[in-house]
Amino acid sequence: MPDLMTHTCLGLILKKIKPDFFQRTDRLGGILLIFLLGNILPDVSGRVPIIIFPKGALFFSVYHTLAGALIIAYLISVFFERTIRKPVFFILFAGMTFHMVTDLIQKDIFGDGYKIFYPINISIDFGFLWPEDTLFFLPFLLIAVGVLYREIVLEKVRNYFIRSDK
């Protein structure tokens, strides 16, 4: 898995590339936030528990698959208000799927690939980078995000200086 900051940056860049996807519903405010939450969820549900309980690796690894993502997205969406439940589910699932698709760029020494379609035994990966290699691209991704979101960044900086002047 690339680091979550890379996933988040890629999610933010996706929003600029496909803005219409994030404007599909007006019933849900904060679509980007829900998408980014979905973007970090596969690692939070399927990788963090393995770091804490290494012996449960096989138990938790199924939560980092499309089938696991579908159930987790539905489970979380049930905790939202009825009117926004459906868009929350779809946006969360889209975020989780985007995370897993970007995970396909990584490689491992076994060459087994990533069983994204569990329980169907199909493995795929493109095997470009080791999981940690994304850290080297992170500064460039952060610059790209900064440039794409320059209006927000500049506004925050301006507000900060105006506040400190007072």
Partner 1 sequence: MFSDKFRVLKIFSCILLLIIMGLWNLNNSVEIKLSDCLADPAAYNLTELKIANDAVILNVKYNSFTILSRGNTIPVKITGNQRINESAVGRYISLAAVYHKEGYLEMKKYHVHYFRRIKMLVSVIIAAIISIIFLLNYRFDFKKLVFEEKKCRT
Angstrom distance (rounded) from CA 67 to CA 31? 22
Based on CB atoms, which residue is closest to partner 1, 71 or 154?
Answer: 71
Beta bridge partners of 114: 124
Among 66, 85, 125, 137, interactor with partner 1 by CB under 8 A: 85
Query: For partner 1, what does the binding mask look like between residues 126 and 145, x meaning CB under 8 A?
Result: ----xxx-xx--x-------
Based on CB atoms, which residue is closest to partner 1, 75 or 101?
Answer: 75
What's 111's DSSP letter? -
Angstrom distance (rounded) from CA 51 to CA 55? 9
Beta carbons of 35 and 22 less than 8 angstroms apart = yes
Based on CB atoms, which residue is closest to partner 1, 55 or 163?
Answer: 55
Among 24, 78, 124, 158, interactor with partner 1 by CB under 8 A: 78
Beta carbons of 130 and 107 less than 8 angstroms apart = yes
| Alpha carbon distances (Å) from 25 to 87, 107, 137 | 7, 36, 33
> Residues interacting with partner 1, by CB under 8 A?
2-5, 8, 29-33, 36-37, 40, 43-44, 50-51, 54-63, 67-68, 71-72, 74-75, 77-82, 84-86, 89, 108-110, 112, 118-119, 130-132, 134-135, 138
